Amino acid sequence: MKFLKMAPILFVLAMLSSFIGCMSANQHYQQTHGPKEKEMTVGMVQKEIRKGMSAADVATVLGSPNIVTNDSDNREVWIYDKISTDVSYSKDSSGAGLKLLIAGVSDSLLGAGLGAGNYNRSAGAQSKTQRTLTVVIKYDEQKRVRDFFYHTSRF
């Protein structure tokens, strides 16, 4: 008889324990977007690139360009064309069931709600984002930055 009094408490504890270890869709999203390695951004270009800067200094800050060409006056032009696709998917599901088998109590009574219970939960998130960044750096005859411009988009 004492065990029957404990049944509701055990049921509640079993239900609460099913929440432990479950993550929401937002938590999964945050986990897939952790610290990233150094990447080229508009802010980096705005902060680091200056007119008069040498080509070697630009290469140190931004790395190698995707395209090196010459303009109509035969001056060097570097083009950085970056495209990034970020795809993430995360899903979490959990469940719990409780069925007390007590001597002298039939399974049909338990099925009627005297000590049986089920709980299921599922959460997920999917995200896809594309970003582009194009940086054009024009050099003078002494290989110093003459002009630069950039364009960025996100969709």
Burial class (CB in 10 A: 0-12, 13-18, 19+), 131: middle
d(CA 59, CA 153): 23
What is the pLDDT, as a whole number, of residue 37? 46
pLDDT digits (tens, 9 = 90+) for 75-107: 999 999 999 888 877 777 776 665 555 555 555
What is the pLDDT, as a whole number, of residue 121? 74
Rg, the chain, Cα only: 31
pLDDT digits (tens, 9 = 90+) for 4-60: 566 667 666 666 655 555 666 666 666 665 544 457 889 999 999 999 999 999 999
Is the pTM of the predicted complex or chain greater than 0.75? no
Residue 3 pLDDT level (bands cut at 50, 70, 90): low
d(CA 77, CA 148): 9
SS3 state of residue 94: strand
- DSSP single-letter state for residue 74: S
Q: Which residues span the domain enclosing 79?
A: 2-154
The stretches of the chain forming alpha helices (DSSP H) are: 2-17, 25-32, 42-48, 55-62, 107-111
Total domains in the fold of the chain: 1
